[in-house]
Amino acid sequence: MRLNLLAQKGELRPTRLYLIRHGQVADGHTHRYHGNNDIPLSPQGVKQLEDLATRLAGVELAAVYASDLSRAYQGAEILCRGRHLQPQAVREFRELHFGIWEGLSFTEIIDRYPQELEARLQDLAHYRVPEGESLLDVKGRALPRLQGLLCAHQGEAIALVAHAGINRVILCEALGLDLIHLFRIDQRYGCLNIIDYFPDLAVVRLINGDGHEVGEKGKRLGH
């Protein structure tokens, strides 16, 4: 708790994470469970990340990381323009693997796999879609990798372009929420979340924003 008081007085610099969801996916692929399917961005998705990159232009970033799937990595490339940075692809930040549901719409899943869907709804954290992953599997691969990045960038600001599921898992952990509450957190295409990591706690500064909240010339939110 003393560390938190020092932070409030400006005597302790947190490690800041700019956590971003990729932009809208290519036309014909929205509203589907793509998971590990490698779908590119639509023109609208490109524009969403370009707009966000403009709003974050004044923010100093030590590094930019992304899922190795095209829709996230392409967004990270946009974010790196003019920064003399190259995005670093990290497989552990891939979206939840939906197994036999990959590429299907929610309506198609209801029609084809009603029992599996009911089982998942009854045990959101633990249920593993056949040939896929559970949310606990995702947590087990993504959070240790994130912790490693936070340790490597202590006191700096980094960006991560990932997916709705990954972002929600990270935000649940930062907020101290059980994974059963995951869908209480909205993640629009191209949205921005900001988390400050101190030695004794995480402080969530922004959820599901659009970048305007950062302020003029990249002023650090919360400082």
How would residue 62 be classed by pLDDT, with cut points 50, 70 and 90? very high
> Is residue 27 very low, low, confident or very high in pLDDT (cuts 50, 70, 90)?
confident
Is it the case that residue 64 has pLDDT exceeding 60? yes
Cα–Cα distance for residue pair 80/78, rounded to 1 Å = 5
- If you average pLDDT over every residue of the chain, what do you get? 93
pLDDT mean over 195-201: 96
CATH fold for the domain made of 13-174 = Rossmann fold (3.40.50)
More confident residue, 3 or 117: 117
Output the furthest CA–CA distance in the chain (Å, rounded). Answer: 57
Enumerate the H helices of 9-161 as residue ranges. Answer: 43-55, 70-80, 106-112, 114-122, 135-152
pLDDT beyond 90 at 164 = yes
- Which pLDDT score is estimated for 222? 54
Residue 12's pLDDT is what? 84
20 has which bridge partners? 161, 192
Q: Look at residue 127 and tell me whether its pLDDT is greater than 70.
A: yes
Average pLDDT (205-216) is: 89
pLDDT at 23: 97
Q: Are 32 and 103 contacting, i.e. CB atoms less than 8 angstroms apart?
A: yes
Q: Stretch 45-73: mean pLDDT, rounded?
A: 98
Identify the pLDDT of residue 217: 43
Over residues 200-211, the mean pLDDT reads 96
pLDDT range class, residue 34, cuts 50, 70, 90: very high
Average pLDDT value for residue range 145-164: 98
Confidence of residue 21 (pLDDT cuts 50, 70, 90): very high
pLDDT at 167: 98
List, as own/partner pairs, every contact residues 108-111 make where C-beta atoms lie below 8 angstroms and the sequence separation is at least 24, other chains included: 109/33
Helix ranges (DSSP H) in the chain: 2-8, 43-55, 70-80, 106-112, 114-122, 135-152, 164-175
Please give the Cα distance from 150 to 104 (Å, whole number).
35
Q: What is the pTM of this model?
A: 0.91
pLDDT above 90: percentage of residues in the chain: 88
The tally of CA atoms less than 13 A away on the side-chain side of residue 104 is 16
